[in-house]
A and B are shown apart, each in its own frame.
Chain A
Amino acid sequence: MEKNNPEEFKVPFSPLLIGRYKMIKKIGKGSYGSVYKVEDIKDRKTATTPDSPKKYFAVKKMKLPANRLKIQGIDFTTLREINILQEIKHENIIPLVDVFHINRSTFMVMELMKSDLSKLMFSRTITLTIPHIKCIMLQIFYGLKELHKNWIIHRDLTPNNLLISEDGVLKFSDFGLSRFFASNNRPMTQNVVTLHYRAPEILFGANYYGPQIDIFSAGCILGGLLLRGTLFCGRNDIDQMSQIFKIMGTPSEETWEGVTNLPHYVEFEETPPQSFRILFPGIDEDLANLLEGLLVLDPNKRLTVEQCINHPFFNKSPDSCDPDELPMDDIS
């Protein structure tokens, strides 16, 4: 079966990386570069027993436009990603095993994960119950708590960047856009976060924002888990804003102080906010409250990570399931 897919065996460099990692197959591709499954040969050589299990890792080969490499050397996004992964050691953040450089390409060796959240979220064959959703969301909040505690904003929180191990442990990955938010009062770029998970303050072109943008993305993920799809599916910035305001209501100076002063502020047709209990009939009142708290338009009124973790939704029965109880076997 594998032979039929030419992409999987297309390895652009020597199959043995730095004499240690044996290339097995290509497992992913994105704007950042490509991901390969590798086997650690050194580990096998040093193993005491011959029957010891093989150790597999994922190697991320960072892609870089040729002209940028010519001019600037190693990409700054790669440097920042390495920096953050080295700094934070947490159960819900993917660990960085090794980094090396071959022929102008940077490789990051990371733990091999089974899947990502998008597969679990968009799969029609998997049933996600409230305990499953609680388990996933709590893991997201624990990861975010660790990041925000270390003054880091992820800035690209999407289901594709949340990887799940075989044990059901959810881990944050792709820190290419992350940055420290406490270092200075320096302006921040607006070209962050995937459009469908982008907070309204970024869509309005705010130059100064905080960890609340990650909370909004988490709210979009929670909505997506309930909807089994994308909650706000806009085609461009304006469309995205209109999608958000259809549900959350149009912002005004009363509901969001200072919104009219934002650089790209556009006045939308007035629409009242909708209740999530109407949008998702049959959901718990606490869950609806949590969703509302996560998706509040005014970033200052949005819930913090700690408030999310201590939310009554998570303290109420049914309790959250254990990570290994997540339906990982059903993922193709």
Chain B
Amino acid sequence: MALRAFKAPKFETYEQIVQEENQNLRYCFENQLLSIDPKQRSEVTKYTKQNKRLRLVRKFMIDWVTYLAKKSNLTLLTIQVSIIYIDKLFSHLPVRHIEQEKYLWGVVAVLLSSKYNEILPNAIKLKHLQKVSKRAAFPSALVKDHEQRLLKYIKWEIWAKPPLFYYETFCNKFHPEIDKAFLENLRIYCDLALRVDELQKCGYFTQFLACAILSCDRNNYKKSNFEMLIDIFQVSINDIEHCVRILTQLDTTEYQKYCPRSKKRASVSQRREQRIYCNDSRSKRTYRQNLKCYLKKKAPSVCSERSLSRENLARERNEKTNKTELNSFAIFYQTEQNESHTSSSALGGERSSTKLSNWKKFKVLKEKSNDGNSQSISQHSW
């Protein structure tokens, strides 16, 4: 009887992704970006000085951390804290050392961040973490030892305030006067700024990045809101301007990267592997695909193409109506869609029904505005 050859678990092989990455990397602004010397050098800058390989390991570790945290019902803030710990570790330790034990470091980062952020009954337990990590389960003594090592490497600098913390504390709770749609976008950008390592190339803290992206956002930008944000985050306009300059370059590359013209179909093993990496088990998408979807769905500045196509559709349907009405509808629909998306995602409502209701709302508004001037519609929608 022929013995079946031993197969190592497929979870660890990201060399294939490295190859794929190299094929897709047709553009490289890296040299340009690294030559820029930002005023505020942070840990992130140290990290960006390291090689391309690090980015892949980081990406993988973020997936792993997110997987562990989701299985343990930890909050998004805890995930962000653990990402900060991973970044701190990268700034203090060479990549090759982390790469060998990336699962273990991920487990340690989650454990530490849950202790730091979660309240006592929700704080993760080592036993549970071992259960969740399945193949990558480590003996508790090893985890504890690495926990001490991590703290030693980061010189006990456990202070970690992710951008979501600012959002939750200052904007959401203490500044209710800021628009909800604007806040929702800020939250998304804060999350993106931390998760997409491409954006971290600028070497700025995530709150700078979030502010910079928001300042580029035409749909939800308001001067008063922006000024308030600058006050809250305590960032200078010069830094934001500098950040924007870099981001404008990055934005195009990001778009190209996530929407390549020709992409080879992955092999069966690669696809299986991608499923394991994937955060959303139901849709079985990879992190990058999720992100692409995320960018398209939520970030209005990035999904300009999609919104434009919808606008065109609306134009075709309502050929008889005059131009001013159409423009106001497009603006109204777009902004309403942003708002309804946030509410529907929170309540799990139907997205298809929002379109109809928006149109009805628009009609009611239009009727009302017949008495007054037509500009009031667009003002209201804004």
Contacts and interface: CB of A to CB of B under 8 A. Distances in A.
Q: Looking at chain B's contact residues, is the secondary structure mostly helix, strand, loop, or mixed?
A: helix
A73 B158 contact: no
- Residues of A in contact with B, size category: 20 to 34
Given A73-B126, A76-B123, A189-B120, A151 B158 contact: no
Contacts of A80: 116
Nearest to B156: A99
Nearest to B108: A73
Nearest to B165: A183
Contacts of B127: 71
B115 interface: yes
A183 B158 contact: no
Interface stretch (B167-175, B232-240, B261-269): B167-175
Given A151-B169, A183-B168, A189-B120, A74 B151 contact: yes
Interface string B140-184: 100110011001100011110000010011100110000000000
B125 interface: yes
B345 to A, nearest CB: 19
B210 interface: no
Contact of B144 (A73, A182, A189): A73
Contact of B116 (A73, A79, A100): A79
A101 interface: yes
A18 to B, nearest CB: 11
Given A74-B115, A183-B77, A186-B119, A86 B158 contact: yes
A210 to B, nearest CB: 12
Contacts of A83: 116, 158-159
A82 interface: yes
A73 B170 CA distance: 33
Contacts of A67: none
B168 to A, nearest CB: 6
Contacts of A99: 156
A79 B126 contact: no
Contacts of A183: 77, 165, 168-169
A72 interface: yes
A310 interface: no
Most buried by B among A71, A73, A99, A187: A73
A76 B158 CA distance: 12
A101 B169 contact: no
A86 B157 contact: yes
Interface string A169-195: 000000000001011101111000000
Interface string A67-105: 000011110100110110011000000000001110000
A76 B115 contact: yes
B176 to A, nearest CB: 14
A79 B112 contact: yes
Nearest to B144: A73
B77 to A, nearest CB: 7
Interface residues of B, number: 29
Contacts, number: 62
Nearest to A151: B169
Interface string A293-326: 0000000000000000000000000000000000
Nearest to B158: A83
Contacts of A184: 75, 77, 168
Contacts of B157: 86
A65 B111 CA distance: 19
Interface string A46-75: 000000000000000000000000011110
B125 A71 contact: yes
Contact of B147 (A73, A87, A186): A73
Contacts of B156: 82, 86, 99-100
Most buried by A among B119, B127, B156: B156
B105 to A, nearest CB: 14
Contact of B169 (A76, A100, A182, A189): A182
B159 A87 contact: yes
Contacts of A74: 112, 115, 144, 147-148, 151
Contacts of A182: 168-170, 173-174
Contacts of A186: 119
A167 B157 CA distance: 30
A255 to B, nearest CB: 28
A79 B158 CA distance: 8
A210 B148 CA distance: 33
Contacts of B152: 101
A72 B129 CA distance: 11
A87 B165 CA distance: 15
Contacts of A100: 156
Given A101-B152, A189-B120, A73 B169 contact: no
Nearest to B161: A87
A71 B115 contact: no
B244 to A, nearest CB: 29
Given A83-B159, A183-B169, A101 B116 contact: no
Contacts of A71: 125-127, 140
28 contacts: A71-B127, A72-B115, A72-B125, A72-B126, A73-B126, A73-B144, A73-B147, A74-B144, A76-B123, A79-B115, A80-B116, A83-B159, A86-B156, A86-B157, A86-B159, A87-B159, A101-B148, A101-B151, A101-B152, A180-B169, A182-B168, A182-B169, A182-B173, A182-B174, A183-B168, A187-B119, A188-B119, A189-B119
Q: Which 5 residue pairs across A and B have the least CB separation, nearest first?
A: A76-B115, A182-B169, A99-B156, A73-B144, A73-B147
Given A76-B115, A182-B173, A188-B119, 6 more contacts: A74-B112, A74-B151, A79-B116, A86-B158, A182-B169, A182-B170
